[in-house]
Amino acid sequence: MRFSPPLPDRSSKVLVSTVALIPAAGRGERLGAGLPKAFVDLAGHSMLHHAVRGVQASGVVDALVLSVPIDLVEQVQSQFPEVIVVAGGAERSDSVRAALAAAPPSDVVLVHDAARALTPPSLFADVVAAVTAGAPAVVPGLPVVDTIKSVDPAGAVTGTVDRVPLRAVQTPQGFDAAMLGAAYAAAIADFTDDAGLVESQGTPVRVIPGDPMAFKITTPWDLRLATWLLHERASA
């Protein structure tokens, strides 16, 4: 764990090796919990709490920046005094951009969804290792197990997609920091993940093996599964 004292000065020019950004400003309507998704209770703590502790337990992150709903900035800052907390934006990419702007200089940037609250600490280390080894952009991914069909608006099947080359992509996604900063500065469209943004600008993206525990908690079903997994872990 390399979180020593809280970062005293956000404009510090001290280069740290790896910064992690956690966008946690989503509304999370599909979860139906009536509060922002990252703040939904998961076995006694918020999803954000689990995500932050996962990053910190990895031991490979020097500084952490959270983007949260504007009205929760103060509360989250007092809960996690050792991290930088900023207000997120309307889209996920706005929230990542805000976190990136507040991050201290680094070699590597990880972007990790708060909603992937049970991500094993080792996956952060795997992604950082792949970026440090020379890949400018690295994403964890899992093979797709379902048969995938394309459909038209009326629900008629228009094709069956070959699933062999497909990967369901997760976070943390890791990037060469200078490349990611330049990609965000040049971005004109919105992307659902950061690899999609850099990929659109011609940067090669490498996939490394993902982990089922890094699943995104999106629906009430996912929340039940995550709660059960945490209770199982606690009683092991």
The site for ligand C5P (CB under 6 A) is made up of 23-26, 37-38, 67, 88-92, 95, 113-115, 216, 218
CB contact set of 138 (below 8 Å; sequence gap of 6+): 127, 130, 131, 173, 174, 175, 205, 206, 207, 208
Residue 200 token pair: 């659109």
* Cβ at position 162, least distance to ligand C5P in Å: 26
CB of 152 or CB of 212, closer to ligand C5P: 212
DSSP 37: G
CA-based nearest residue to 17, from 112, 128, 93, 182 = 128
CB of 58 or CB of 95, closer to ligand C5P: 95
* Cβ at position 215, least distance to ligand C5P in Å: 11
Kindly tell me the sign of the dihedral angle through the C-alpha atoms of 135, 140, 145, 147.
negative
- The residues pairing with 86 across neighbouring beta strands, listed in sequence order, are 67
CB of 40 or CB of 198, closer to ligand C5P: 40
CB of 37 or CB of 50, closer to ligand C5P: 37
Residue nearest to ligand C5P (CB): 26
* Cβ at position 27, least distance to ligand C5P in Å: 7
CB of 107 or CB of 196, closer to ligand C5P: 196
Q: What is the largest CA-CA distance in the chain?
A: 57
With contact defined as beta carbons under 8 Å apart, do 174 and 110 qualify? Answer: yes
- Kindly provide the residue ranges of all beta strands, DSSP E only, lying in 98-188, ordered along the sequence: 106-111, 137-143, 148-151, 157-161, 167-169, 173-176
* Cβ at position 108, least distance to ligand C5P in Å: 20
CB of 69 or CB of 104, closer to ligand C5P: 69
* Cβ at position 209, least distance to ligand C5P in Å: 21
Measure Cα distances from 191 to 96, 97, 143, 188, 201 in Å.
11, 12, 22, 10, 12
* Cβ at position 166, least distance to ligand C5P in Å: 19
CA-based nearest residue to 22, from 98, 106, 104, 82 = 98
Measure Cα distances from 87 to 18, 52, 73, 156, 183 in Å.
21, 17, 6, 42, 21
CB of 24 or CB of 64, closer to ligand C5P: 24
* Cβ at position 157, least distance to ligand C5P in Å: 26
